[in-house]
A = this chain, B = another copy of it.
Amino acid sequence: MNSLCDLDKKDLKARLKRIEGQVRGLQRMIEEDKYCVDVLYQINAVQGGLKKVGLKILDKHVHGCVQRAVKDKEGDKVIDELMGVLSKFTD
**Interface of A with B (CB < 8 Å)?**
1-4, 9, 12-13, 16-17, 19-20, 23-24, 26-27, 30-31, 33-37, 39-41, 43-44, 46-47, 50-51, 53-55, 57-67, 70-71, 75-76, 79, 81-83, 85-91
Pick the contact of A2 from B2, B33, B67, B85 — CB < 8 Å? B33
Inter-chain CA distance A53–B88, complex, in Å, is 15
Q: Which residues of B contact A87 (CB under 8 A)?
A: 55
A82 & B37 in contact (Cβ 8 Å cutoff): yes
Q: Which applies to chain A's interface (DSSP): helix, strand, loop or mixed?
A: helix
What is the bound-complex CA distance between A64 and B39, given in angstroms?
15
Question: Chain B residues near A60 (CB, 8 Å)?
Answer: 36
